[in-house]
Amino acid sequence: MKNVYLIAAFLLGYTTSAFAQYKGLDVVKVADSQQLYENENIHIPNIDGYKTLKCDFHTHSIFSDGTIMPEERVWEGNRRGLDAIAITEHIEYRPHSSFIKADHNESYKIAKGVEKNANIIVILGAEITRDKPLGHLNALFLKDANALNVEDPLIAIDNALEQGAFIMWNHPGWPNDTSTIYKVHQELIKQKKIHGVELVNGFEFYPIAFKFCKDHNLTYMGNTDIHGVYNQTYRTDKQYGPMTIVFARERSVEGIKEALFAQRSVVKFGDMLIGSESNLRALVKACLPYKIKSIKGNEAIMEINNKSTLSFYLQLDSKIISILEYGYIEFKVRLDDKIKFTNTFITDNSQLEINITELK
């Protein structure tokens, strides 16, 4: 008996007292992994008239070629601080199907079961999976993923569209390292059957697809396409997984869907922010409220407060000024200056610029 008390005392001392407690004489409870896990805690303020939502529209579980259960994927999303996650199993590639017997909606249903407790919106999606030229496409906001299990992928797309789905062209530069836009994509876009492009997938960025997205008014998307355990795939010290930041009228499936169809999104890839000029401008203005403190002739003292955990790198003449999370800076500018936000990309080789006079 004495030994038991020694062990209990050791556990209580070894873990911090906040995480260890007696549950009676026979059980000493120590911290569980969720209490110890450090959340990503990314904060991005709302923009004018819209809620800013952090989303991942491309994830897999053991029901296709992933390695974890769908409800764990949702809890990972919760720890990442996401507002929404889409479960997008491959329709055609299910290497575990000899021991997992289920239809194409089952994974979503399991994930949906923890939606409320995890406080994250779960979206039913599916990945239509073919070799190039077509490649892979995610259908999001489905009602029944089984309808996509047909031989002809173009019919699968039509069946998804009949359910009101948003179609995203996935990882255009994978697997052969060229982001070729084939005739089939051009045709689908002309018919308004592709609505968004994944400019960022996991650790990859496809600059060529940028112009394509811009020219055809498609939605900018960036997702993890996670198959394994998130915490083993991405380091937690700031090298977080990519996400699609969505500006939605409301925090709901319908709100997110409306925002995606209206191209209100920005991709976060490490410290890079990728999007259309108007979306990036709105995001930067919400994150970095500026104030001209004083003006003398053509010179002014300006202050910027970072209201987010995002980092921004500003170029003024040849100087680079960084404003890290919740940072504050004060600096001298000429009124005819322009500030370039060097980590925000509006095309593959141009960054967001704002005139000082616009900020007054």
Nearer Cβ to Zn ion (201/279)? 201
CA distances from 73 to 59, 227, 233 (A): 8, 9, 13
Nearer Cβ to Zn ion (59/343)? 59
Q: Of the ranges 177-185, 223-231, 239-247, 340-348, which one interacts with Zn ion (CB under 5 A)?
A: 223-231
CB 161 within 8 A of CB 126: no
User: Cβ of 67: how many Cβ atoms within 10 Å?
Assistant: 14
User: In sequence order, what are the residues at sequence separation of 6 or more whose Cβ sits closer than 8 angstroms to the Cβ of residue 217?
Assistant: 263
Q: Of the ranges 10-18, 134-142, 156-164, 181-189, which one interacts with Zn ion (CB under 5 A)?
A: 134-142
Shortest CB 206 distance to Zn ion, Å: 13
Shortest CB 312 distance to Zn ion, Å: 31
Single residue of 51, 54, 79, 136 touching Zn ion by CB under 5 A: 136
CA distances from 221 to 208, 226, 250 (A): 14, 15, 19
Nearer Cβ to Zn ion (242/255)? 242
Length of the chain, please? 360
Nearer Cβ to Zn ion (136/257)? 136
Burial of 328 (0-12, 13-18, 19+ CB in 10 A): exposed
Nearer Cβ to Zn ion (83/127)? 127
Which of 260, 302, 266 has its CA nearest to residue 286? 266
Q: Of the ranges 121-129, 177-185, 214-222, 268-276, which one interacts with Zn ion (CB under 5 A)?
A: 121-129
Q: Does the protein bind Zn ion through residue 225 (CB under 5 A)?
A: yes
Q: Could you give the string, one character per residue 180-219, with x where binding to Zn ion holds by CB under 5 A and - elsewhere?
A: ----------------------------------------
Report the residue number whose CB is nearest to Zn ion.
136
CA distances from 306 to 67, 105, 173, 289, 294 (A): 38, 42, 34, 7, 20
Q: Residues in contact with Zn ion, total (CB under 5 A)?
A: 4
Q: Does the protein bind Zn ion through residue 264 (CB under 5 A)?
A: no
**Distance between CA 321 and CA 315 in Å, rounded?**
6
Binding site for Zn ion (CB under 5 A): 127, 136, 170, 225
